[in-house]
A and B are shown apart, each in its own frame.
Chain A
Amino acid sequence: DVQLVQSGAEVRKPGESLEISCKTSGYSFSDYWIVWVRQMPGKGLEWMGIINPGDSDTRYNASFQGHVTISADTSINTAYVRWSSLTASDTAMYYCARPVRPNWGFDALEIWGQGTMVTVSS
């Protein structure tokens, strides 16, 4: 059974760093890109970026470039998003997702994690 299980909710202060994770199981981690999607409270979905765990090729939405870092660890089948300095506008639900097809990052998103809520408040 294919599963993406995300780390738990986080509360941080502005300026703090944070890393959230997405642990996968039930398929070959290196064969499928992982996509990260942001959903701000009461708002729609935004594509943040993608990573190919097989070779660490990473692409970012221009709106997120330089503010987040996406990475993956194939030894534990887990993908990450990291912030070095959070702001209040980072308060959102963050989802990881797996595309329909292997070896292609720009695909429809078939399998989703349960989401990680990040709250940034002083």
Chain B
Amino acid sequence: ESVLTQSPGTLSLSAGERATLHCRASQFAPSNYLAWYQQKPGQPPRLLIHRASNRATVTPDRFSGSGSGTDFTLTISRLEPEDSGMYYCHQYGSSPLLGFGGGTKVEIK
């Protein structure tokens, strides 16, 4: 299983600011098979980004993903109050590589 390390653990920013979340994988992600999810309390995760940079159908364009290999980034260009929550990265593609990061908590001041 690939170990995914997310940083920072908590990000506290004001609405309108730019948020940058990081995910480092212990094993190379072929074909950039890396996804990002948002989870709010009491709700299931919601897919935001797949294959490192492809937005899911309903993902607002203020969310963008980048990176390759073992280092990936999720950027929220201008934070909205509804963007608060936990964000998880997820490496996929084959069984040995499957894993989720420990999460980054985004707080809106």
A interface residue numbers (CB < 8 A to B): 44-47, 59, 61-62, 95, 97, 100, 106-110, 112-115
Contact = CB atoms under 8 A, between A and B. Distances in A.
Interface of B: 1, 33, 35, 37, 44-47, 50-51, 56, 88, 90, 92-95, 97-103
Contacts of A59: 95
A44 B47 contact: no
Given A44-B88, A45-B88, A59-B95, A109 B47 contact: yes
A44 B23 CA distance: 14
A118 to B, nearest CB: 15
A108 B44 contact: no
A107 B45 contact: no
Contact of A44 (B46, B97, B100): B100
A-B pairs, 5 with minimum CB distance: A108-B50, A108-B35, A112-B44, A45-B100, A47-B98
A108 B100 contact: no
Contacts of A109: 35, 37, 45, 47, 90
Contacts, number: 53
Contacts of B56: 110
Contacts of B44: 95, 97, 112-115
A110 B92 CA distance: 13
24 contacts: A45-B100, A46-B100, A47-B100, A61-B1, A62-B1, A95-B44, A97-B44, A100-B47, A106-B33, A106-B92, A106-B93, A106-B94, A106-B95, A106-B97, A106-B98, A107-B92, A108-B35, A108-B50, A108-B90, A109-B35, A109-B37, A109-B47, A109-B90, A110-B56
B73 to A, nearest CB: 17
Contacts of A46: 100
Nearest to A112: B44
**A106, A107, A114 interface centre (most CB from chain B within 10 Å):** A106
A94 to B, nearest CB: 11
A113 B92 CA distance: 19
Given A108-B47, A108-B51, A108-B92, 12 more contacts: A44-B101, A45-B37, A47-B100, A59-B95, A95-B44, A97-B44, A106-B93, A106-B94, A107-B50, A109-B35, A109-B45, A114-B44
